[in-house]
Structure 1
Amino acid sequence: MTTVVHLETAVDLDERADSDPRRVSVSATLSAVLDNGRRITLLDDRGWGSTGLWETTAVGEIEDTARTVVGPDEPAEGQTHEEVAAAHWTHLVAVLGERGVAADSDALRRLPHAVVLSDRLRSRVATA
């Protein structure tokens, strides 16, 4: 049986980032990495932007933000953090199930979560 061994968020420059040197803009794609090396995309609609200089944006800051933006999201009015988190992990388990991989939401949320910056993004940011 194939299992998920860790989560990975790939972070790259947003195409709009090159148009304004004062805007830091990136996209983030969350994937599950399986024990056979295969990757399954779980979320590909995430990212963020801020006004600032690339030279003052640290790799660690991008890694921390990437883990945040791929969820769980902040609760809407009337929701609790626990409800939103449960729905988030249930959704990811459903995506895996659609691709033939059985997973448990509690186990999934405890997996290591790596963040990988693209070479072109890494070349633009501070090394601190």
Structure 2
Amino acid sequence: MARPARSVARLETQLRLERAAVDGRSYSVSARLDAVLDDGRHVVLLDDRGWSTSGPPGTSDRLTVAELEATARVVVGPDEPMPGRTRKEEAELHWSALADVLARAGIAATGAGLARLPHDVVLDERLLARVRR
């Protein structure tokens, strides 16, 4: 019997707190972007993203979920355009590259289709413990 075609249901960025100063002055977060398939399986699209920040004491204790979610979506792309490219061109290249990752995993997707998908952000327990509620 033929296996049913798999499709991408949504995107999910998983955030993990990598480092946080004891005094809360700085923190580093890693971000991994996955395609979540209609059967619940995950395919890693990007696993080399993240950010660090520093500021006055308590900076990492004033994080909000909304700020983390917004930053995560920026960090996993599309990136700012390279010289000579428009934002639209850079976005098309970004989403096309992610569709290519899925194609190598045997999953058909288009860049335009991926760009329209819901995009959830999931925080690990250490980040959740630091967010302002």
Q: TM-score, normalised by structure 2?
A: 0.89
Deviation at 1:68, TM superposition (A): 0.7
- 5+ residue gaps, structure 2, are none
Sort the Cα spacing of 1:110 and 1:19 in 2 relative to 1 into closer, same or farther, 3 A: same
Is 1:8 paired with 2:12?
yes
- Give the equivalent residue in structure 2 for 1:126: 132
Is 1:29 paired with 2:29?
no
- Give the equivalent residue in structure 1 for 2:41: 38
Runs of 4+ displaced beyond 3 Å: 18-21
- Give the equivalent residue in structure 2 for 1:78: 84
Q: How does 1:57-96 map to 2 (within 5 A)?
A: 57-96=63-102
Task: Deviation per CA, 1:51-76: give whole Å up to 9, x if none.
Answer: 13112111110001001100000012
| Aligned partner letter, 1:91 | A
Q: Secondary structure at the match of 2:67?
A: helix
Q: Secondary structure at the match of 2:120?
A: strand
RMSD: 1.3
- Give the equivalent residue in structure 2 for 1:117: 123
Distance (Å, rounded) in 1 between the aligned partners of 2:28 and 2:113:
32
Q: TM-score, normalised by structure 1?
A: 0.93
Q: Secondary structure at the match of 2:93?
A: helix
Deviation at 1:19, TM superposition (A): 6.8
Task: Deviation per CA, 1:14-65: give whole Å up to 9, x if none.
Answer: 2x33577311210100000001110000000000111131121111100010
Distance (Å, rounded) in 2 between the aligned partners of 1:102 and 1:8:
18
Q: Secondary structure at the match of 1:78?
A: coil
Larger Rg: 2
Distance (Å, rounded) in 1 between the aligned partners of 2:49 and 2:90:
17
| Aligned partner letter, 1:35 | D
| Percent of aligned positions that are identical | 52
